[in-house]
């Protein structure tokens, strides 16, 4: 974990530009919510402050809510082969490295965004008990990592192009998971359908629990269901794909 | 340059014909990925029928314009030309410097892949057609010319913005390796938002330090307005000239530094693939 | 034949960022990263004549890659003058690189997702190679480098050796006046190496191409080049022929004696380098000890079936030289009341007479 965090930090202050860009994204989305929610009205049970809080937290926790590891890069450049020669589990290694990388964002961007949000009145206190929200976050990361390894297995097993699958997943997951736009704000009842998907358990679940637009028991139960189911699938798929592992690069 | 574009078209053709199924996957997924970036705002507008003064069709036009720009970037600036910081940070710039052509010529031609990059172009054109029909826009040669000028200008702004940031990689190859893709994300991630009500300071910011406004909002306003003002008509092309000029200046400074320091790093990750 | 490359008092220094040791250091380094200065070239001066083949060797970090980069126009020296083909390499870069060929062993110029044929077509266009030249060079290159069998294979499906051969073919396509090669035989099998060395000598002989090559494979360098430049810590430590290098290192030779004894006898004037089955190899100084004396001493203890005498492999000569430099560096870095410098096998700055090729 420490190695991964340090490796990211050794890029120097230029790494912080990514944070500045994240901040800009938050600012703009909050302005959009202001346009939609005029005069203190609510939109699909979301007040303006709730939407602003949702956006800030989605950005601060963007990396764990996306649950991306080095898996796709190492598959693509072939270095996954070298990792199979290490006397440690692959899943554990990738997960630990991911936590290391995420920790840098928590230590730098997180406090600034949360502090500014609170100071400007755009960050509300959690509407659900904090332990519940934290448990949901842990489950979200668990589900996210399971999806990550399932996709990794698909790439290895089908020898498909890494980048196409990953970019498709990345682009659609932000929308399907409710990370950018709360699912309740989507038209045609899409949100009602998507909230049952595993993607929603990765991002929408903890965020909606925090702002109080979802029920704790139902949300946690659904996340637990997906965590168990997907990890069973991930375990099976990963074991199968290990025997078909071939470096796609290098 | 025509000969160079021709040979790169040839390379792209080989790539597509070698595996048509794979090519179709690329093209289709390209369109889906580009559309996803603007789909959120389009869906919001559909749900609420408008966002501020922008009805749903106009938001669709805005999003489709952005997708078309994405497609043009993918068609002309592939292989990390649009994300120059990757080439610089990974020490791959030497490959370009060892070619007997000016660097600008190399960068303007080596990324040409119009076939494999056509997914977003097609998606954008389809989206624009539907939106234009919904808005009752009459397609005249003049309007098409305006569209082309604004697409080219918006593309130039997006690529120039990414390149300006990319030059940081000359000074910090590892730290800034992904800075141009992060910068490009700002432009592509924000291009689908209408900015009329975001406030003066933020609007200025989105037309200067993070020019997402030029890559979607302002051109869409001009192209969907019944009588756009002259200032609005020339704003995006003029901004393109300005951003391109800054990008060229930054590149020159960065290259001067690079020729003094060289690059200790080298990975062929993403090089011509 | 005149001088095509002239390097005069060239200096090059790098500033390298040092990694932090702990978390606090890492956070501090976000704002002010610690840097270390490294002198890569320190007053390098030499010239290369037209149609000459020059081998450049040195331990890792000696400055070889930096030297190639300044010669190919990828780096501007801090001080000094470089003229290659009459121009400053960085001054008129685009035109200059059109007249040279460059192969970096670890970096392919091939398009990864394209067959070799496509990369060659791309090269023809970008380098603006005439159809005449392309038509003449392509068959030569394909035949000599064995590219016919992989002509339609994607670059990413090639082995390292196949990629290297294709890269060399690309570099030769436009008939460069000077060829800069950085580890060109890296990863190649014996046959491939032989064919490449043969091709390089052929183009040198027939087209007068000047070749500047760096490698860690000293045997290859000795086969290819008449002249060797050794670099140590950014300075030229030796510039002369391989024969002169051996003489400067000392007149060491090896003798392999075939004898049916399990334990070879000890010989005062020689040391045992290797013993494999019935073959026992000794190294000795030919100037001090005549071979007859060695054989006589051996014969006292064991019968001699066969004898083979040969010079010390050039790899071992270089290894001894590098070891000498490293010990010198260690001695210099340890403060002592009366510094005692260990003599290096090749004194820094020695210059041998250059044997001019006929």
Do B44 and A181 count as a contact with CB atoms less than 8 A apart?
Answer: yes
Which tens digit of pLDDT belongs to each residue from B160-169?
999 999 999 9
Structure tokens at C4: 């095509």
Higher pLDDT, C209 or C349: C209
Residue C246 has pLDDT above 90, yes or no: no
Which residues of chain A neighbour C30 with C-beta distances below 8 Å? 9, 12-13, 15-16
pLDDT (0 to 100) of residue C342: 31
More confidently predicted of C266 and B75: B75
B261: chain C residues, CB-CB within 8 Å = 14-15
Q: Does C107 touch chain A (CB under 8 A)?
A: no
Helix (H) or strand (E) holding B244: helix B230-261
pLDDT of the residue at A75: 74
C-beta separation of C221 from C317 below 8 A? no
Q: Once rounded to an integer, what is the mean pLDDT over residues B139-166?
A: 96
Asked if B48's CB is within 8 angstroms of A18's CB, the reply is no
Element (H, E) at A83: helix A80-83
**pLDDT above 70 for C63:** yes
What's the pLDDT band for A154 if we cut at 50, 70, 90? confident
- Distance from the B104 Cα atom to the nearest Cα atom in chain C, whole angstroms: 11
> With b meaning 16 or more CB within 10 Å and e meaning fewer, what string describes B65-89?
bbbbbbbbbbbbbbbbbbbbbbbbb
Q: Hey, is the C-beta of C90 within 8 angstroms of any chain B C-beta?
A: yes
Q: Which residues contact A123 (CB under 8 A, 6 or more apart)?
A: A52, A53, A56, A114, A117
Best interface-test mutation with B: which of A4, A28, A250 has the largest number of B CBs within 10 A? A28
Closest CA to B215 of B67, B8, B6, B15: B67
- Confidence band for B185, pLDDT divided at 50, 70 and 90: confident
Residue A11 has pLDDT above 70, yes or no: no
- C87 has a chain B CB within 8 A of its CB: no
Contacts of B95 in chain C (CB under 8 A): 107, 109
Mean pLDDT of C36-58: 93
Residue A37: pLDDT over 70? yes
Q: Say what the pLDDT of residue A85 is.
A: 66
Q: Determine, for residues B271 and C112 on separate chains, whether the beta-carbon distance falls below 8 Å.
A: yes
* Cβ contact B264–C16 (<8 Å): yes
Task: Answer with the residue of higher pLDDT: C267 or C134.
Answer: C134
Q: Alpha-carbon distance B210 to B213, whole Å?
A: 8
Cross-chain residue pair B186–A24, CB shorter than 8 Å? yes
Q: Which of B36, B164, B209 to mutate to test the interface with A (most CBs of A within 10 A)?
A: B36
Per-residue pLDDT at B271: 84
Q: Angle B56-76/B141-166 helices, nearest 10 degrees?
A: 60
Report, as an integer, the average pLDDT of C212-224.
Answer: 87
Of all residues in chain A, what percent carry a pLDDT higher than 70? 81
Residue to test with chain A: of B192, B198, B209, most A Cβ within 10 A: B198
As for the ipTM of the complex, it is: 0.91
Q: Indicate the residue of C17, C26, C31 with minimum beta-carbon distance to A6.
A: C26
> Which range, A6-15, A24-33, C226-235, has the best average confidence (pLDDT)?
C226-235
CB-based contact C102 B98, cutoff 8 Å: yes
The confidence score (pLDDT) of residue A79 equals: 72
Beta carbons of B23 and B113 less than 8 angstroms apart: no
Q: How confident is the model at residue C116 (pLDDT cuts 50, 70, 90)?
A: very high
Locate A229 and state its tokens: 């189911």
pLDDT at A13 over 80: no
Q: Specify the pLDDT at position A238.
A: 83
Domain ranges of chain A: 2-248
SS3 state at B202 = helix
Residue C77 has pLDDT above 70, yes or no: yes
Dihedral sign, CA of C55, C58, C59, C64? negative
pLDDT at C353: 34
Looking at residue C344, its pLDDT comes to 33
From B32, B44, B176, residue closest to A168, measured CB to CB: B32
CA distance A186 to A201: 17
Query: Which one, of B272, B220, B247, lies nearest residue B113 by Cα?
Result: B272
- Chains B & C: contacts with CB separation below 8 Å: 77
Q: Is the pLDDT of residue A249 over 60?
A: no
With 80 as the cut, is the pLDDT of residue C52 above it? Answer: yes
Q: What pLDDT was estimated at residue C347?
A: 39
- Residue A74: pLDDT above 80? no
Which pLDDT does position C350 carry in this prediction? 38
- Residue C81's pLDDT band, with cuts at 50, 70 and 90, is very high
User: What local confidence, expressed as pLDDT, does residue C339 receive?
Assistant: 38
Mean pLDDT of chain B: 92
> Quick one: pLDDT band at residue B107, thresholds 50, 70, 90?
very high
- Distance (Å) from the alpha carbon of A239 to chain C's nearest alpha carbon: 27
Task: Report the 3 state secondary structure along B2-24.
Answer: HHHHHHHHHHHHHHHHHCHHHHH
What's the rounded mean pLDDT across residues C30-38?
Answer: 76
A163 to chain C: which residues are within 8 Å by CB?
none
């Amino acid at each position: 974990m420490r190695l991964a965090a340090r490796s990211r930090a050794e890029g120097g202050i230029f790494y912080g530009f990514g944070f500045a860009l994240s901040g800009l994204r938050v600012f703009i989305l909050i302005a959009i919510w202001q346009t939609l929610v005029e005069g203190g009205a609510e939109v699909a049970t979301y007040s303006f402050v709730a939407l602003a809080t949702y956006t800030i937290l989605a950005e601060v926790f963007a990396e764990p809510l996306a649950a991306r590891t080095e898996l796709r890069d190492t598959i693509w450049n072939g270095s996954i082969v070298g990792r199979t020669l290490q006397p440690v589990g692959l899943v554990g290694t990738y997960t630990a490295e991911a936590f290391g990388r995420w920790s840098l964002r928590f230590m730098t961007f997180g406090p600034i965004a949360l502090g500014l949000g609170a100071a400007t009145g755009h960050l509300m206190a959690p509407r659900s008990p904090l332990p519940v929200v934290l448990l949901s976050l842990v489950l979200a990361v668990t589900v996210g990592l399971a999806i990550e390894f399932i996709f990794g297995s698909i790439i290895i097993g089908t020898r498909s192009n890494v980048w196409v699958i990953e970019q498709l997943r990345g682009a659609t997951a932000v929308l399907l998971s409710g990370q950018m736009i709360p699912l309740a704000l989507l038209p045609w009842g899409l949100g009602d359908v998507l909230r049952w998907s595993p993607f929603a358990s990765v991002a929408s679940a903890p965020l909606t629990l925090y702002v109080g637009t979802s029920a704790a028991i139902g949300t946690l139960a659904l996340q637990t269901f997906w965590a168990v189911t997907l990890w069973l699938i991930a375990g099976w798929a990963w074991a199968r794909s290990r025997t078909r592992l071939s470096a796609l690069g290098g | 340059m025509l000969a160079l574009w021709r040979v790169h078209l040839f390379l792209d053709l080989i790539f597509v014909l070698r595996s048509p199924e794979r090519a179709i996957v690329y093209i289709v997924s390209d369109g889906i990925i580009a559309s996803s970036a603007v789909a959120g705002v389009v869906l919001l507008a559909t749900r609420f029928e408008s966002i501020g003064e922008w009805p749903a069709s106009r938001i669709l036009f805005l999003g489709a314009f952005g997708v078309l720009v994405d497609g043009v970037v993918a068609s002309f600036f592939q292989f990390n030309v649009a994300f120059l910081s990757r080439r610089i940070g990974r020490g791959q710039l030497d490959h370009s410097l060892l070619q007997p052509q000016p660097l600008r010529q190399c960068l303007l031609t080596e990324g040409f892949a119009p076939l494999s990059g056509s997914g977003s172009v097609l998606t954008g054109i389809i989206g624009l057609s539907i939106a234009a029909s919904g808005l009752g826009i009459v397609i005249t040669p003049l309007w098409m010319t305006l569209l082309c000028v604004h697409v080219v200008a918006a593309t130039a702004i997006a690529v120039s913005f990414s390149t300006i940031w990319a030059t940081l990689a000359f000074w910090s190859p590892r730290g800034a390796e992904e800075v141009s893709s992060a910068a490009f994300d700002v432009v592509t991630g924000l291009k689908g938002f209408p900015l009329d009500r975001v406030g003066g300071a933020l609007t200025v910011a989105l037309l200067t330090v993070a020019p997402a406004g030029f890559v979607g909002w302002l051109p869409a306003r001009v192209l969907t307005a019944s009588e756009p003002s002259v200032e609005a008509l020339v704003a995006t092309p003029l901004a393109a000239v300005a951003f391109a000029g800054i990008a060229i200046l930054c590149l020159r400074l960065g290259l001067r530094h690079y020729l003094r320091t060289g690059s200790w790093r080298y990975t062929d990750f993403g090089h011509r693939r | 034949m005149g001088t095509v490359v002239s390097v005069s008092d060239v200096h090059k220094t790098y500033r390298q960022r040092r990694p932090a040791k702990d978390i606090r250091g890492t956070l501090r380094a976000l704002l002010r990263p610690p840097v270390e200065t490294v002198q890569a070239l320190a007053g390098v001066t030499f010239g290369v004549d037209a149609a000459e083949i020059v081998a450049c060797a040195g331990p890792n970090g000696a400055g070889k890659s930096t030297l190639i980069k300044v010669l190919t126009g990828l780096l501007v020296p801090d001080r000094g003058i470089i003229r290659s083909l009459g121009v400053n390499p960085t001054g008129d870069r685009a035109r200059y690189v059109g007249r040279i060929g460059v192969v970096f062993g670890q970096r392919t110029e091939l398009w990864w997702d394209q067959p070799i044929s496509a990369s060659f077509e791309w090269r023809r266009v970008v380098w603006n190679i005439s159809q005449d030249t392309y038509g003449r060079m392509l068959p030569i290159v394909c035949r000599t480098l064995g590219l016919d069998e992989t002509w339609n294979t994607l670059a990413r499906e090639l082995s390292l050796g196949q990629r290297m051969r294709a890269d060399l073919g690309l570099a030769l396509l436009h008939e460069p006046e000077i060829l800069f090669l950085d580890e060109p035989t890296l990863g190649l099998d014996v046959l491939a190496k032989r064919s490449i060395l043969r091709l390089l000598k052929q183009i040198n002989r027939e087209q007068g191409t000047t070749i500047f090559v760096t490698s860690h494979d000293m045997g290859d360098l000795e086969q290819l080049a008449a002249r060797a430049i050794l670099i140590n810590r950014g300075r030229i430590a030796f510039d002369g022929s391989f024969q002169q290098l051996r003489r400067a290192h000392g007149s060491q030779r090896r003798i392999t004696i075939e004898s049916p004894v399990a334990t070879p006898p000890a010989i005062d004037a020689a040391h045992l380098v290797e013993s494999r089955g019935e073959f026992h190899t000794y190294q000795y100084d030919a100037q001090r000890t005549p071979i007859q004396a060695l054989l006589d001493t051996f014969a006292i203890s064991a019968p001699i079936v066969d004898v083979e005498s040969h010079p010390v492999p050039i790899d071992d000569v270089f290894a001894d030289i590098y070891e000498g430099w490293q010990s010198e560096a260690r001695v210099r870095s340890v403060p002592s009341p009366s510094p005692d410098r260990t003599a290096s096998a090749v004194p820094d700055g020695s210059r041998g007479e250059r044997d001019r090729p006929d």
